[in-house]
């Protein structure tokens, strides 16, 4: 799918403001040693509509990253349900969850998580390649996205030839290239300077406002919180407030 078709897809989907991610009575408990049990998420119910730009905030240890990992099918809950585009990930096996992550969820990590031996272009196209998209369509889509995130001319550089902010822009292009239902961003501005953080937020905000991409952030960054349309505050693994 080329960039024009990709953007058309987002604009079509944003018109239908259905629920894209939902959790019901979600619980995640970890063991610390033989006897100590830590409940990182406590009976948490949440609904995110398509096209939202949502920040999950709270003090360290409040459960932000745990919640994001559960919503992204990177971890499984102790109890409760998680739905992505109506699919219940708690009933899926490992192969099915992997396919759901590939096709439905884009990830932007604090540490970028680019493949060191691949170029910017190759990193951005990796999910499309896994989906079996043909080479010409992959090239059109990825080159268009790299241009949109300000990396035209950098497609042949490997991660060690890019700044932290440039690597995160590649990660954003990779996350959105496969037209996921939702993009989960875990502290995406944590490892960059203020100017770069603003640039990254501009890019993600444009993807959201112009094309309807759904974003859920976990963050401490006041810049992200200020721009979010919805802010969910977690304390001790529970929702303390939810404001738009």
Model confidence at 1, in pLDDT bands (50, 70, 90)? very low
CATH number of residue 154's parent domain:
3.40.50.300
3 state SS for the chain? CCHHHHHHHHHHHHCCCCEEEEEEEEEEEEEECCCEEEEEEEEEEEEEECCCEEEEECCCCCCHHHHHHHHCCCCCCCEEEEEECCEEHHHCCHHHHHHHHHHHEEEECCCCCCCCCCCHHHHHHHHHHHCCCCHHHHHHHHHHHHHHCCCCCCCCCCHHHCCHHHHHHHHHHHHHHCCCCEEEEECCCCCCCHHHHHHHHHHHHHHHHHHCCCEEEECCCHHHHHHCCEEEEEECCEEEEEEC
Model pTM score = 0.87
Per-residue model confidence as pLDDT tens digits over 139-182: 999 999 999 899 999 999 999 999 999 999 999 999 999 889 99
Band (pLDDT 50/70/90 cuts) for residue 4 is low
- Which tens digit of pLDDT belongs to each residue from 10-30? 555 544 568 999 999 999 998
Q: What is the pLDDT of residues 35-64, one digit of tens each?
A: 778 889 999 999 999 999 999 999 988 999
User: How many domains are there within the chain?
Assistant: 1
Statement: residue 185 has pLDDT above 90: yes
Residue 209 domain boundaries = 3-243
């Amino acid at each position: 799918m080329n960039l024009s078709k990709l953007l058309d897809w987002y604009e079509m989907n944003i018109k239908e403001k259905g629920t894209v991610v939902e959790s019901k009575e979600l619980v995640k408990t970890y063991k610390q040693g033989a006897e100590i049990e830590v409940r990182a998420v406590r009976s948490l119910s949440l609904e995110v509509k398509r096209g939202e730009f949502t920040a999950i905030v709270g003090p360290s240890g409040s459960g932000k990253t745990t919640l994001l990992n559960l919503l992204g099918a990177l971890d499984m809950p102790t109890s409760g349900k998680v739905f992505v585009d109506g699919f219940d990930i708690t009933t899926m096996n490992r192969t099915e969850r992997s396919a759901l992550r590939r096709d439905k969820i884009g990830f932007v990590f604090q540490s970028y998580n680019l493949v060191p031996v691949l170029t910017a272009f190759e990193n951005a196209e990796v999910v499309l390649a896994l989906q079996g998209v043909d080479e010409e369509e992959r090239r059109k889509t990825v080159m268009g996205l790299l241009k949109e995130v300000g990396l035209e001319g950098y497609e042949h550089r490997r991660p060690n030839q890019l700044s932290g902010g440039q690597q995160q822009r590649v990660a954003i292009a990779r996350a959105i290239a496969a037209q996921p239902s939702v993009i989960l961003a875990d502290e995406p501005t944590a490892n960059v300077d203020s100017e770069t953080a603003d640039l990254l937020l501009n890019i993600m905000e444009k993807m959201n406002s112009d094309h309807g991409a759904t974003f859920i952030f976990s963050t401490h960054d006041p810049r992200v919180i200020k721009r979010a349309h919805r802010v969910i505050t977690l304390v001790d693994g529970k929702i303390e407030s939810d404001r738009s």
